């Protein structure tokens, strides 16, 4: 099974939606007003999927080099980061402990240097990505060591210039979500029976698709002994 069997380009999504509503396929998403509007609907669907959960298809890891005396770090990436999963430091076995912004503000009132053990998101950079503040602040012994960051990204904002861009989410969900939005738009925003049917299919498919790698992996059978006592 190739990538084309589970993921579609922006243009492929638009054309399948067109076929389902009885319209001819287009060669570009800029072909007409509806095809361009479908790209906006695709963006809406991708945003909804991203907010729904952490998708393995959007999982990324990156390294940041520690600098002695530096407490704030930024991931150098052009992607839009959704959230951070975990943060490891090469000189520490376990992950850094995530703490609140308030706690970090209190703790950093007293300077502490050494192996970082705690972190929090402390604002964002000019690209809207998180700044990471760590504590203790790396000392000379930690200079050059590496932070390993696991995080999830959002899809970019697609335009009519992105016909060949491959959407990372399973194609069936993106098509269903986009189709539901097209039908809702055609009905003037009134959720008729056809929209309700397709939207319910979308919600069910969204749940199952997220569960594919997050819930259907590994051994999940467990046995819990009863806490009740038998009386004779």
Q: Is the pLDDT of residue 228 over 70?
A: no
Contact 15, 26 (CB under 8 A): yes
Mean pLDDT of 211-219: 73
- One-letter-per-residue 3-state SS of 140-159: HHHCCCEEEEEEEEECCCCC
pTM attached to this predicted model = 0.85
Q: How far apart are CA 140 and CA 143, in angstroms?
A: 5
pLDDT of residue 224: 62
pLDDT of residue 220: 56
Mean pLDDT of 216-227: 60
Q: Is 203 exposed, middle or buried (0-12, 13-18, 19+ CB in 10 A)?
A: middle
Tens of pLDDT, residues 142-187:
999 999 999 999 999 999 999 999 999 999 999 999 999 999 999 9
Q: Is the pLDDT of residue 232 over 60?
A: no
Q: How far apart are CA 150 and CA 83, in angstroms?
A: 9
């Amino acid at each position: 099974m190739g990538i084309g069997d589970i993921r579609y380009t922006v243009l492929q999504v638009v054309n399948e939606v067109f076929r389902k509503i009885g319209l001819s396929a287009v060669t570009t998403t800029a072909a007409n007003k509806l095809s361009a509007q479908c790209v906006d609907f695709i963006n809406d669907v991708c945003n909804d999927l991203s907010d729904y959960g952490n998708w393995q298809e959007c999982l990324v890891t990156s390294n940041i080099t520690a600098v002695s005396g530096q407490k704030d770090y930024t991931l150098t990436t052009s992607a839009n980061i959704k959230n951070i999963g975990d943060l490891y430091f090469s000189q520490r076995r376990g992950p850094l402990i995530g703490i609140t912004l308030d706690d970090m503000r209190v703790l950093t009132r007293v300077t502490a240097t050494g192996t970082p053990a705690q972190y929090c998101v402390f604002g964002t950079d000019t690209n809207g990505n998180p700044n990471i503040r760590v504590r203790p602040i790396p000392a000379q012994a930690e200079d050059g060591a590496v932070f390993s960051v696991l995080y999830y990204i959002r899809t970019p904002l697609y335009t009519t210039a992105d016909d060949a861009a491959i959407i990372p989410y399973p194609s069936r969900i993106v098509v269903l979500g986009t189709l539901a939005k097209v039908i809702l738009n055609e009905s003037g925003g009134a959720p008729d029976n056809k929209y309700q049917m397709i939207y319910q299919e979308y919600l069910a498919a969204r749940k199952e698709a997220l569960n594919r790698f997050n819930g259907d992996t590994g051994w999940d059978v467990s046995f819990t002994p009863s806490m009740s006592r038998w009386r004779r």
